[in-house]
Structure 1
């Protein structure tokens, strides 16, 4: 069964002249495997899936899975153990339960670590409808399900009682926690049935210190080794070291979300030469002012 701990990267989708840049995507997968991240998220919010057609989504997922499989069997150093293929979560979004079930059934044959699923967006169903929705999707899935609680995007919050009810489903195993409620975060950690992954990057330190299992962190696209070091320090009880690492990462995290995601992250990666600084409408590149700050951040590193 999948373990949803450590630092996970919600991969961007690189573009070149308007098309998906699969070579750059493969290079990023290798980069993050070498950095020691725990896993990857394909077609999450940061990956701009709403701007990809169905064929492009399938192609992006196929590239990520193939590149992640290629990371198996190699070690970062001579003394390091042989590593397994980097696990991959895939985002499944929508607000029509039957269509999402059909998509999940298509994904069942793939070697996935799990599915990342948010509440139905825009329609704002009752909590009873949310429970029925997630339960139906988890029933249809051959893979573990990670709940994605992000009310600022979906328009509806997953209430604590709803989450605790869903935690009883045998395939619902974790949550990407973006609700901004400390009470909910602590309730889930204390309950212990769901692994709690910080989804708000500024909450990583607090979540890990409280007993959370890790983070799905868009800002970790740049200097991923430092985020891995943060996780390891706190997991091993080295609080002072973890605090120092986190405080040094705060400016990077703040800049990464100063404008709509993933524009700042793409600007950072472009400044280092990993990708072209391209997004698809209606998303736009980071402003000139923010780009200047991000380039300066890279140059100081």
Structure 2
């Protein structure tokens, strides 16, 4: 049984002059490992995978897996034998063609990943029975745990509670990234206990963990990840007042991170710190000048 608790970061894909910036990506992975996050998501929505061709996706994943294992990069002192903390990596698999997705999952079976993160088929808006068959077929094909991704504002279809409870019976479906915004569904899944429930809407991290959820996959945690880790630890250790103070301090950061389409605000914030270039690929565009200024000011906070 894999553990999907804690704070997970859905990694951006840095670009430099239009190409993937693998050095910046590797540095981000090690920065987040040092911050104590529980794991990483590669090729999730925040990573702009729809703008990457198949070879680029494979290369991005290879860099993340290598860096997440704690391997030193090319600039590390050759005399240093220090092994850095390793991180588990979830891999996003998206699409609306079940057979193609199954083939991709079979490729991923050969890799040392923690699991696959799969959203409902987008655009086609299948019936709930079709969704059950779709996820069951993909879970049957996977050698790794499956994390469901319920994000109807992107896919056009919800994973209804009865559907989720049916899928929870599959031995490889172990968790859910919960972005549906339904407190009733969140509580029902937590009370059922078969799926680990990870908040996918960052403003719901506090309520989800307090209710007994397992943690969060939080794009806004790219900046000051250690504070999100402290929040999670405070709440799970029963230090509610401390957790509330940390969360309230993080709310402005979370709100700015989603003031415009993700991941533009996150990239602008990290670019203001000099960690990445402020580049995206069409149809995504950079954050507006007004928001960029607010994010730059936020980046000066400690």
Specify the alignment match of 1:69 in structure 2. Answer: 69
Q: TM-score, normalised by structure 2?
A: 0.95
Specify the alignment match of 2:256 in structure 1. Answer: 255
Specify the alignment match of 1:77 in structure 2. Answer: none
Alignment partners' CA distance in 1, 2:71 and 2:230: 20
Aligned pairs for 1:129-144 within 5 A: 129-144=130-145
8 Å Cα contact 2:70/2:85 also seen in 1: no
Gaps of 5+ in 1: 73-81
Specify the alignment match of 1:30 in structure 2. Answer: 30
8 Å Cα contact 1:6/1:37 also seen in 2: yes
Alignment partners' CA distance in 1, 2:195 and 2:272: 37
Partner secondary structure for residue 300 of structure 2 = helix
Specify the alignment match of 1:285 in structure 2. Answer: 286
Alignment partners' CA distance in 2, 1:37 and 1:2: 16
Shift of 1:300: 3.3
Specify the alignment match of 1:195 in structure 2. Answer: 196
Alignment partners' CA distance in 1, 2:167 and 2:71: 34
8 Å Cα contact 2:34/2:85 also seen in 1: no
8 Å Cα contact 2:150/2:176 also seen in 1: yes
8 Å Cα contact 1:71/1:84 also seen in 2: no
Q: CA offsets, 1:71-120, max 9 Å, x none? A: 69xxxxxxxxx875200000000000000000000000100000000000
Q: Does 1:45 align with 2:45?
A: yes
Specify the alignment match of 1:181 in structure 2. Answer: 182
8 Å Cα contact 1:13/1:20 also seen in 2: yes
Specify the alignment match of 2:4 in structure 1. Answer: 4
| Cα RMSD for the two superposed structures | 1.1
Q: TM-score, normalised by structure 1?
A: 0.96
Alignment length (residue pairs): 292
Specify the alignment match of 1:56 in structure 2. Answer: 56
Alignment partners' CA distance in 1, 2:24 and 2:41: 16
8 Å Cα contact 1:196/1:212 also seen in 2: yes
Aligned pairs for 1:81-160 within 5 A: 85-160=86-161
Kindly tell me: are residues 84 and 223 of structure 1, through their superposed partners in 2, closer, same or farther at Cα, counting changes over 3 Å?
Answer: closer
Alignment partners' CA distance in 2, 1:152 and 1:259: 15
Partner secondary structure for residue 26 of structure 1 = helix
Gaps of 5+ in 2: 73-82
8 Å Cα contact 1:147/1:172 also seen in 2: yes
Alignment partners' CA distance in 1, 2:194 and 2:230: 26
Partner secondary structure for residue 300 of structure 1 = coil
Q: Does 1:14 align with 2:2?
A: no
